[in-house]
Amino acid sequence: MEEIKNIFWIIAEIIEVVAMTILIYGFLKVFIKFICIEGKDITKVDIYYIQRIRCQIGIYILLALDFLITSDIIFTLSELSEEQMISLSLFIVTRIAIGYFLGKEIKELSEEKQDE
């Protein structure tokens, strides 16, 4: 049983690394775009491009959150203590709320872009 538990922990840790990689990659990609946009004309900032950048980073954050939720579930199921189940529940609710509102904001920004 301990061997299976260790395998689950390794899988969960790999999933966490994937989530962090997604976050870092998304941040670097969006940061470079932001610097390029700001570098073109420092006196004129186009809100349209800034909103597109926000949508792009939001998508990476949402994807990474999904991976982190999966990792948390695997970690908790391998331990199954009541305290950790409560902790997992709070993490999942928090991450789902963040994901929901971030997704809603991305949708609104996309709709604004289409209206223009």
Q: For 26-68, what is each residue's pLDDT tens digit?
A: 999 999 988 888 777 766 767 778 888 888 898 899 899 889 9
CA 102 from centroid of its chain's CA atoms? 10
Q: Give the tens place of pLDDT for each residue, 60-93.
A: 998 998 899 889 888 877 776 777 778 778 877 8
Kindly state the tokens that stand for 68.
């982190």
Single pTM value for the model: 0.71
Sign of CA dihedral 57, 59, 65, 67: negative
Per-domain residue ranges of the chain: 2-115
Q: Which H or E run contains 113?
A: helix 82-115
